[in-house]
Amino acid sequence: MGKKLKFGLLSLTAFLVIGVTICGVWFVRSGNPEPSAVQQPNLPENPSPSEPVRNKVNAGDKIVLAISADDVSDMYGYELCVNYNKDILEYSGGLKSDISEISTIFKSTLNFDNYIKIGATQINGMQGINGSDVSICQMTFTAIQDCELIDISISNINIVTAADEYIKDLKNWSFEIKPA
Closest CA to 77 of 139, 166, 6: 166
The region that residue 42 occupies, defined by phi over 0 for left and psi between -120 and 50 for alpha, beta otherwise, is: left
Helix (H, G, I), strand (E, B) or coil at 13: helix
Please state the pTM of the whole predicted model.
Answer: 0.70
Q: Give, in order, the Cα–Cα distances in Å from 60 to each of 33, 89, 90.
A: 25, 10, 10
154 within 8 A of 140, measured Cβ to Cβ: no
Domain boundaries, the chain: 3-40+50-179
The pLDDT score that the predictor gives to residue 168 is: 96
pLDDT by residue for the chain (180 residues), tens only, comes to 444 444 444 444 444 433 433 333 333 323 333 433 333 333 333 345 555 555 688 999 999 999 999 999 999 999 999 999 999 999 999 999 999 988 889 999 887 888 999 999 998 767 899 999 999 999 999 999 998 877 889 999 999 999 999 999 999 999 999 888
Output the CATH code of domain 3-40+50-179. Answer: 2.60.40.680
